């Protein structure tokens, strides 16, 4: 049983429905490979936006542009967080400070750290202590650790990972690691949460848990979520907004119903299944 979340999880100042993220005409290529081609889209506050598309369509590349890991040759990405920021000219750590938190397709946890420390690292941008106050662990640094530990314990409750909080992350099962990675992103107190295939490689039951957490985070706390997911059942179930990428281009953008009826999307998916 959860004892309820006592902190504010969502750090976005926007109202539900406000435009939060604007991807404007973004093109990205690696040498000859066009990963993204004139991609434009918008994401609104408090929606769950799913990005779908065949393997190699450019989904992860798009997320990497949003979090500042890739730099598109053309176009820009704007983010509203009270003020408007141009993400495409910021560094990843600066984007994190705006509250854009994410998980990775291939788990990228800090393997040798405990679950608690991984989550505490998620609090990095909110912590103030320096080398000196940290090394001397006097006053503020200690009070700060305790205060933020409370936030982390709320997330641990929310994700139901109480039993493993002190374990070293590298020793956990794949499914639990995925869950810890979600927790680390939540620890940032996100204004937008980006999840790259958070359910990949999971069985039906594990998927259901993660879907429940995602809905909880979105509905209870109002956090905007961008999710890449291959399981169409899950996508159509949980998302408000679906964006379809194919060969780096947006070929569908709308509600789950609209997208399912889009002939181009149907063709792309049929094409994929034909090729196996």
Ligand X SMILES: Nc1ncnc2c1ncn2[C@@H]1O[C@H](COP(=O)(O)OP(=O)(O)OP(=O)(O)O)[C@@H](O)[C@H]1O
Which of 37, 38, 44, 110 contacts other proteins by CB under 8 A? 110
Q: Which does 55 bind (CB under 5 to 8 A by kind): other proteins, ligand X, Mg ion, none?
A: ligand X
Confirm or reject binding of residue 127 to other proteins (CB under 8 A). Answer: yes
Alpha-carbon radius of gyration of the chain: 19
Within 32-168, strands assigned E span 33-44, 48-52, 74-81, 83-86, 100-102
Instruction: Please measure the distance between the N-terminal and C-terminal CA atoms of the chain and give it in whole angstroms.
Output: 43
In which element (H, E) is residue 183 found? helix 174-187
- Cβ proximity to other proteins: between 146 and 204 the closer is 146
CA-to-CA distance for 14 and 210, rounded, in angstroms? Answer: 26
3-state secondary structure of 204: helix
- Shortest reach from residue 227's CB to other proteins, in Å: 17
Q: Report yes or no: 161 and 183 within 8 Å, Cβ to Cβ.
A: yes
Q: Does 214 bind other proteins (CB under 8 A)?
A: no
* 12, 47, 53, 186: which one binds ligand X (CB under 6 A): 53
- The interface region with other proteins, picked from 76-84, 107-115, 197-205, 251-259 by CB under 8 A, is 107-115
Binding to Mg ion (CB under 5 A): which residues in 76-105?
105
Phi, psi for 176 (deg, rounded to 5): -70, -40
* Residue 60 interacts with Mg ion (CB under 5 A): yes or no: yes
**Residue 117 binds other proteins (CB under 8 A):** yes
The verdict on 108 binding ligand X (CB under 6 A) reads no
The sign of the torsion formed by the CA atoms of 156, 61, 240, 88 equals positive
Question: Does residue number 60 form part of the binding site for ligand X (CB under 6 A)?
Answer: yes
What does 151 bind: ligand X, other proteins, Mg ion, none (CB cut-off 5 to 8 Å by kind)? Answer: none
Residue 167 binds Mg ion (CB under 5 A): no
Distance CA 256, CA 240 (A): 7
103 binds ligand X (CB under 6 A): no
Q: How far apart are CA 218 and CA 7, in angstroms?
A: 15
| Binding of other proteins by 102 (CB under 8 A) | yes
Indicate the DSSP class of residue 163. G
Which residues contact other proteins by CB under 8 A? 67-69, 91-93, 95-97, 101-102, 104, 108-113, 117, 120-122, 124-125, 127-131, 133-137, 141-142, 144-146, 149-150, 153, 184, 188
């Amino acid at each position: 049983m959860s004892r309820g979340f006592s902190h504010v999880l969502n750090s976005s100042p926007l109202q539900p429905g406000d435009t939060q993220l604007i991807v404007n005409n973004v093109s990205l290529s690696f040498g000859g490979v066009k990963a993204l081609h004139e991609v434009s889209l918008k994401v609104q506050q408090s929606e769950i936006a799913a990005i779908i598309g065949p393997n190699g369509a450019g989904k992860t590349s798009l997320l990497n542009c949003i979090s500042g890991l890739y730099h598109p040759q053309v176009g820009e990405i704007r983010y509203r967080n009270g003020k408007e920021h141009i993400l495409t000219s910021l560094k990843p750590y600066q984007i994190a400070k705006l509250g854009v938190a994410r998980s990775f397709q291939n788990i990228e946890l800090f393997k040798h750290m405990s679950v608690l420390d991984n989550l505490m690292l998620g609090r990095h941008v909110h912590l103030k202590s320096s080398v000196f106050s940290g090394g001397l662990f006097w006053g503020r640094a200690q009070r700060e650790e305790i205060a933020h530990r409370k936030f982390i314990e709320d997330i641990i409750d929310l994700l139901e990972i109480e039993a493993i909080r002190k374990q070293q992350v590298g020793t956990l099962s794949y499914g639990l690691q995925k869950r810890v990675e979600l927790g680390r992103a939540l620890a940032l107190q996100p204004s937008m949460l980006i999840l790259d295939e958070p359910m990949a490689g999971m069985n039906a039951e594990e998927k259901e848990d993660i879907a429940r957490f995602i809905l909880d985070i979105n509905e209870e706390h109002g956090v905007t979520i961008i999710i890449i997911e291959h399981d169409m059942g899950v996508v159509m179930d949980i998302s408000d907004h679906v964006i379809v990428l194919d060969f780096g281009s947006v070929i569908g953008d709308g509600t789950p119903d609209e997208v399912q009826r889009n002939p181009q999307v149907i063709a792309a998916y049929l094409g994929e299944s034909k090729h196996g």
